[in-house]
Amino acid sequence: MSSEPPPGSGPHPPDDDPLRKRPPSDQGAGSPYDPPPEGGTPPPPGGSQPPPHDGGNPYGSGGDPYGNGPYGGGSGGGDPYGGGPHGGGNPYGGGGPHRGGGPYDSGGYPTDPLAGMPPLADSGKRTLARIVDMIIVGIVVYLLTWAFGVREYDVNGDTIDAGKSLGQSVVAAVLYVAYDTILTARHGQTLGKKWFHMRVANLDNGATPSFQTSLIRALVLWIPFAFCCACVWTAICGGWSYFDRPYKQGLDDKAAKTVVVSTR
């Protein structure tokens, strides 16, 4: 019997992703992938049957060691994990002990999406990490706009050139979005988050966000910041996590369906 999960069970976060959710049974003894403790082992091919249990072999009736026994009930279709107390199918499918799906499906954590993930990051540290990121990218923006003559103020420093102001905003938006998107998609954290020991995780499965999810998150945060009301928007978007319950999400997290968790 193949150990591969059947088609349709949904993508699982990589095993080496430190942020992926751990199935509830991983928190205690045993694992949902462990074989059932009861029933013994199948009889060797061509060998004698073990002593009968419940009027037949220990795995069911009709001579099928994976049939209608304590793990079967007919609906398992030959799968030792099907039909009985372990659900109506394979261990990754629906109807199992996690109600309606595998450990990473939407039904796997019916009461708490944070089950199996590290604790949520402190909002104060998130603010400090955001300031670090703003300073890092801001320095690059300043140097590039200075080098190419795209500056908000003219030589005298007392008037605003609208065209240059727009150019500086475009450069800032591109750099901030690219910085946040690429680092979040690759590592789950920007440099600021790395220094303060936190990472971004998908709320539904705890994995590192995809490129698309990271881009959505970055656009919501940095586009308004670059083109208008930078300080006000940053305070509202990031400060939302101070009051949001139960997930401490900023507005960028809510748009991307992510959370920020501690890495230690």
Judged by average pLDDT, the poorest of 80-94, 117-131, 149-163 is 80-94
Can you tell me the distance from the alpha carbon of 162 to that of 40, in angstroms, rounded to the nearest whole number? 79
pLDDT score of 202 more than 90:
yes
| % residues pLDDT > 70 (the chain) | 53
Query: What is the pTM (predicted TM-score) of this model?
Result: 0.59
What does the pLDDT look like over 56-100, one tens digit per residue? 444 444 444 444 444 444 444 444 444 444 444 444 444 443 343
pLDDT score of 108 more than 50:
no
More confident site: 165 or 15: 165
Q: What is residue 115's predicted lDDT score, i.e. its pLDDT? A: 87
Q: What are the φ/ψ torsions at residue 135 (nearest 5 degrees)?
A: -65, -45
Q: How confident is the model at residue 166 (pLDDT cuts 50, 70, 90)?
A: confident
Q: What is residue 4's predicted lDDT score, i.e. its pLDDT? A: 52
Compute the radius of gyration of the chain from its Cα atoms.
Answer: 27
Q: How confident is the model at residue 16 (pLDDT cuts 50, 70, 90)?
A: low
Q: What is residue 62's predicted lDDT score, i.e. its pLDDT? A: 46
Give the range with max mean pLDDT: 39-43, 74-78, 127-131. 127-131
Q: How confident is the model at residue 25 (pLDDT cuts 50, 70, 90)?
A: low
More confident site: 134 or 23: 134
Which residues have C-beta within 8 Å of that of residue 173, sequence separation ≥ 6?
A: 222, 223, 225, 226, 227
Q: What is residue 210's predicted lDDT score, i.e. its pLDDT? A: 97
Q: Are 35 and 80 in contact (CB under 8 A)?
A: yes
Q: What is the phi-psi region of residue 149: left when phi exceeds 0, alpha when psi lies from -120 to 50, beta otherwise?
A: left
Q: What is residue 182's predicted lDDT score, i.e. its pLDDT? A: 98
Can you tell me the distance from the alpha carbon of 149 to that of 90, in angstroms, rounded to the nearest whole number? 63
Give the range with max mean pLDDT: 23-37, 62-76, 164-178. 164-178
Among residues 54, 86, 88, the alpha carbon closest in space to that of 74 is found at 88
pLDDT score of 204 more than 60:
yes
